[in-house]
């Protein structure tokens, strides 16, 4: 299971460094690694494995970012940790459980990133509009991916006559 987590996070890192910029230019600043962290944590429940994988991914991404080193790592670690803390509040089968999980992960990531950037450089002005846009795109993207996953399961069950 850990190998699958590392593989998915690795692919997400590559996408983040190449494709994400073009998506951002189109007005959809989607974060593949954040989505990977939230979805893997939700589906596999291996929060610790996900946290280790995104910690390493964060160290790599930080080397390519203009933000102070450690910013993305701290954000991703928060995104893997905070949802795990609140998991269990809503029954797992309920759709709201994923929504809550996704919102918690996204807010933790962007909250930590902005706090770290502000802490590193007090003159940094928080780009509220860009942050709100990034949060909305991330949550919407995760819900779409979750929907696709659930739909594929439904199709599979139907095919098997269940």
Partner 1 sequence: MKAPRNKKKWIMISTVMIALLIFFARIGNTAPFENGIARATAPFTASAAYAWRTASGLGMTAFDMKNAREEVGVLREENQQLQETVMKNAELARENEALRAQLGVGAARARTLVDAKLIAFDPLSFTHYAVINRGARDGVREQMPVIMPGDVVFGKITNVRETTSEVMLITDNENKVSGVTAADTASGVLAGIQGSALLLDLIEKNAAISLNELVVTSGLDGVYPRGLSIGTIIKIISEEKGIFQQAHLAPAYKNTLPATVFIITGQQ
Residues contributing to the site for partner 1 (CB under 8 A) = 14, 16-22, 24-25, 27, 29, 31, 33, 47-48, 51, 55, 59-74, 77-78, 80-81, 84-85, 112-117, 119-120, 125, 127, 129-131, 134
Rounded to a whole number of angstroms, the minimum distance from the CB of residue 130 to partner 1 is 5
Question: Smaller CB distance to partner 1: residue 66 or 161?
Answer: 66
Q: Is the dihedral of CA 83, 89, 90, 96 positive or negative?
A: negative
- The distance of closest approach from Cβ of residue 63 to partner 1 in the complex, given in angstroms and rounded to an integer, is 4
Q: Which is nearer to partner 1, 10 or 149 (CB)?
A: 10
Question: Are 33 and 101 a contacting pair, CB within 8 Å?
Answer: no
Measured CA angle at 149 (ends 102, 81), to 5 deg:
30
Measuring CA to CA, which residue among 90, 113, 114 is closest to residue 102?
90
Burial label for 115, CB within 10 Å (0-12, 13-18, 19+), is middle
Q: How far is the CB of 128 from partner 1 (least distance, A)?
A: 9
Nearer Cβ to partner 1, position 39 or 77? 77
CB of 160 to partner 1, least distance (A): 32
In degrees and rounded to multiples of 5, residue 94 shows phi and psi of -75, 140
Ramachandran region, residue 45 (left: φ > 0; alpha: ψ -120 to 50; beta: rest): left
Q: For residues 125 and 160, which CB has a smaller minimum distance to partner 1 in the complex?
A: 125
CA–CA separation, 32 vs 35, rounded Å? 5
What is the smallest separation between the CB atom of 162 and partner 1, expressed in angstroms? 30
Q: Which is nearer to partner 1, 39 or 135 (CB)?
A: 135
């Amino acid at each position: 299971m850990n190998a699958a987590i590392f593989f998915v996070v690795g692919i997400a890192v590559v996408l983040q460094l190449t494709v994400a910029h073009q998506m951002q230019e189109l007005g959809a600043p989607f974060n593949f690694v954040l989505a990977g962290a939230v979805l893997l944590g939700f589906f596999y429940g291996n929060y610790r494995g996900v946290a280790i994988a995104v910690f390493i991914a964060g160290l790599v991404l930080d080397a390519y970012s203009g933000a102070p080193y450690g910013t993305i790592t701290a954000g991703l670690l928060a995104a893997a940790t905070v949802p795990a803390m609140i998991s269990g509040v809503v029954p797992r089968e309920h759709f709201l459980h994923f929504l809550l999980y996704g919102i918690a992960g996204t807010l933790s990531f962007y909250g930590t990133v902005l706090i770290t950037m502000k802490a590193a450089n007090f003159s940094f002005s928080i780009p509220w509009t860009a942050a709100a846009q990034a949060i909305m795109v991330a949550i919407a993207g995760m819900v779409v991916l979750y929907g696709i996953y659930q739909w594929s399961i439904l199709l599979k069950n139907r095919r098997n006559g269940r």
